[in-house]
Amino acid sequence: MRNLAGQMFRFGLVGLVNAGVDVAVFFTTVAILAHVASVTIHPDWVLILSNTCAWIVAVTGSYVLNTRFTFAHHAGGKMSLGGYLLFALSQFGGFLAHTAMLVAAAKYFPLPVAKLFGIGVGFVVNFTLARMIVFRNA
């Protein structure tokens, strides 16, 4: 149980770093898409495309940090393409949950609040999937 709590804490720290990266890429992409294609792209698709870009960057950073820090004992700190692809695939469920919450919440809350809700939902799903699928022996 102590090991699980430590992993959750480290996963949360990595998550804070990645949340910062995610938010920076997301809002930059929203600004670019809103400026360049405001007439041709539905607002929901601006959110979906922006969140997709942010997820790709953040999931890559998350794999590196979680392999080297959160689950280093289990992974031996060694990264591989197969491990990355499995990690990204396992995190896809969190991405879907995050994006769905973001799009739904953006209809009722300011965009930064909606993004925060999405990050929260995504965190719970991502930790669960990472621990059960990628680092199941951790």
24: Cβ–Cβ under 8 A, 6 or more apart, which residues? Answer: none
Average pLDDT per 10 consecutive residues for the chain, totaling 138 residues? 76 86 96 77 92 94 85 72 86 93 97 94 82 68
Give the CA distances from residue 75 to residues 7, 84, 103, 120, 135, in Å, rounded to whole numbers and listed in that order: 13, 12, 35, 26, 8
Q: Is the pTM of this model over 0.75?
A: yes
- Contact by Cβ (8 Å): 119, 19: yes
Nearest to 27 by CA among 116, 96, 101: 116
Report which secondary-structure segment, H or E, holds 4: helix 2-36
